[in-house]
Homo-oligomer: A and B are copies of this chain.
Amino acid sequence: MEYEPLCPKFESAFELLGKRWTGLIIRALLSGPKRFKDISGMIPNMSDRMLAERFKELESAGLLVRHVYPETPVRIEYELTQKGRDLEAALNEVQRWADTWMTKAAVQRD
């Protein structure tokens, strides 16, 4: 059989990416480093608490780094690592699929 019985890497990737807002956060960061407020402004339905949690998860998974610039006031930016940026093709494919197949009704049902 060609199919590998169990692929924990694939499954882990989808568990990470499948968390609410994670895909959108990564996409927002693909255009360059951003501050907390930049991202929260782009995803108005997401709470700040949720964004802080997602940032921690993504940092822990090695997808983003946090830069602290010791200015006054302090400036903090979030930037994708190479591992994070390398998701662009996958996210684009999911977006293409969603644009083709996810009808308004399907989105509302969820």
Interface residues of A (CB under 8 A from B): 1-3, 5-24, 27-28, 31, 41-45, 61-62, 83, 86-87, 89-90, 93-102, 106-107, 110
Contacts and interface: CB of A to CB of B under 8 A. Distances in A.
Contacts of A62: 101, 106
Given A9-B102, A9-B107, A17-B94, A31 B2 contact: yes
B99 A9 contact: yes
Contact of A10 (B10, B19, B89, B95): B95
B12 A102 contact: yes
A14 B6 contact: no
Contacts of A102: 9, 12-13
